[in-house]
Amino acid sequence: MAGSETRSEILHLLQQSDRGYVSGGELCRALGVSRAAVWKQIEQLRQVGYVIEAVPSRGYCLTSSPDHIDRVTLKQALADCRLDWDPCFVENIPSTNAYAAELAEKGGREGTVVLAEQQSAGKGRLGRHWTSPPGVNLYVSMVLRPSIPPRDAPQLTFLSSVAVARAVKEVTGLEPKVKWPNDILIAGKKVAGLLNEMSAETEGVHHVILGIGLNVNMTQEQFPEDLRYPATSLALAAGRSFPRQALLVALLRHLDALYGLYQHEGAAPIVSAWESWFDLVGERIEVASDETFQGTVLGLAEDGALLVRRDNGCSERVLAGDVRPVVGRYP
């Protein structure tokens, strides 16, 4: 059993114990590891913020936890999902997307989920950086292997946007909006960014990595000053903190359901679900793509293009770029 699995099992046993204390011997027997291994993992749990008392002849007792994501209870909460989600936890890596792609290249199966406490080189689009402080947010990447042509892969960005919006609304009661192509906003401020990356040949997709960064309990001081757009976290927007695990469970469950819908019915229901979280149809926006121009938003095409009517009356399909409303919808 790997160290992280032993740690997760120890935590689970301590959390489940109705007597409060679990003896070192019981932990060794339950996990089939040595006392030294148990002690080492208890020390590691303490280092990441768990308060675990050790009382001679009684054992270990968990008295306080940080906002932790627990593998065992996460798996239980996802047990009835269509996909067999397989979470893989890491403390600190450059990027969950890069690591998930590495796993996928080595044959990692659909449903592999990489989750990090922090990222040292979190990736945005076009080589941009995603600020990823430890312990407060969700940094998560999923491996999917859809049977679709490469040109359809952008549809999955809209699928994950809807999953994030639904999860945020369900767990926090806040009213998120989606922004084309890959942002989730609350009151006009960016609370989540999505980065989907694909490996494909002409005939088909090998895998798609769905990367999601959701600012959960991040404080104002943790944001850099030079952000492209105003940003927020769920905690800043609501004035209270939220458990990351509940958000992750909701996110994966919505993703599971939407992916099933996508596989059975195609992009149409995903596009209309996305449009229901989008508040710029009929609004004037500025598009920064190959060129910069203004126009009125018509909606989203099934391939993920944003449909915009230019001032000269021509309709434009915008496939990549950034948009912002011309008048004050966003701060």
Rounded to whole angstroms, how far apart are CA atoms 290 and 160?
25
Q: Do 241 and 217 touch, CB atoms closer than 8 A?
A: yes
Question: Is residue 128 near ligand BT5 by the rule CB under 6 A?
Answer: yes
Three-state secondary structure call for residue 331:
coil
Distance in Å, CB of 218 to ligand BT5, minimum:
7
Shortest distance in whole angstroms from residue 302 CB to ligand BT5: 22
Give the position of tokens 């592999």: 112
Nearer of residues 119 and 155 to ligand BT5, judged by Cβ = 119
Closest residue to ligand BT5 using C-beta atoms: 193
Q: Measured between alpha carbons, how far is 54 from 52 in angstroms, rounded to an integer? A: 7
Alpha helices in 154-267 (DSSP H): 155-172, 234-238, 244-265
Least Å distance, CB 157 to ligand BT5, is 10
Work out which of 50, 60, 139, 259 binds ligand BT5, going by CB under 6 A.
Answer: 139
Question: Measured from the CB atom, is 56 or 127 closer to ligand BT5?
Answer: 127
With a CB cutoff of 8 Å and minimum separation 6, the contacts of 136 are 67, 215, 216, 217, 218, 219, 222, 233
Residue number with CB closer to ligand BT5 (62 or 231): 231
Q: Which of residues 42-101 bind ligand BT5 (CB under 6 A)?
A: 95-97
Minimum CB distance to ligand BT5, residue 126 (Å): 6
Closest approach of ligand BT5 to the CB of residue 122, in Å = 4
Is residue 123 within the footprint of ligand BT5 (CB under 6 A)?
yes
Query: Considering only residues 216-275, where is the footprint of ligand BT5 by CB under 6 A?
Result: 227-228, 231
∠ Cα 245 50 67 (to 5°): 20
Burial 65-90, CB ≥16 within 10 A → b, else e = beebbbbebbeebbeebebebbbbbe
Q: Which stretch binds ligand BT5 (CB under 6 A): 3-11, 44-52, 84-92, 126-134?
A: 126-134
* 39: Cα within 13 Å, side-chain hemisphere: 5
Instruction: Kindly state the DSSP code that residue 65 receives in the 8-state scheme.
Output: -
Smallest separation, CB 93 to ligand BT5 (Å): 9
Asked if 247 contacts 138 with a C-beta cutoff of 8 angstroms, the reply is: yes
Please identify, using beta-carbon distances, which residue of 146 and 181 lies nearer to ligand BT5: 181
Q: How many residues bind ligand BT5 (CB under 6 A)?
A: 28
Cβ atoms 142, 112 nearer than 8 A: yes
> Mask: binding to ligand BT5, 165-184, rule CB under 6 A, as x and -?
-----------------xx-
Cβ partners under 8 Å of residue 148, min gap 6: 155, 204, 205
CB of 132 to ligand BT5, least distance (A): 6
Tell me whether residue 172 or residue 215 sits nearer to ligand BT5 (CB atom).
215
Among positions 195, 237, 248, 258, the unique one binding ligand BT5 when judged by CB under 6 A: 195
**By CB under 6 A, is residue 112 in contact with ligand BT5?**
no
For the chain, helix (H) and strand (E) counts, in that order, are 9, 15
Q: Cβ distance 210 to 194 under 8 Å?
A: yes
What minimum distance in Å lies between the beta carbon of 257 and ligand BT5? Answer: 21
Instruction: Select 111 or 211, whichever has its Cβ closest to ligand BT5.
Output: 211
Write out the two tokens for 5.
């699995």
Residues that bind ligand BT5 (CB under 6 A): 95-97, 119, 122-126, 128, 130-131, 139-141, 182-183, 190, 193-195, 211-213, 215, 227-228, 231
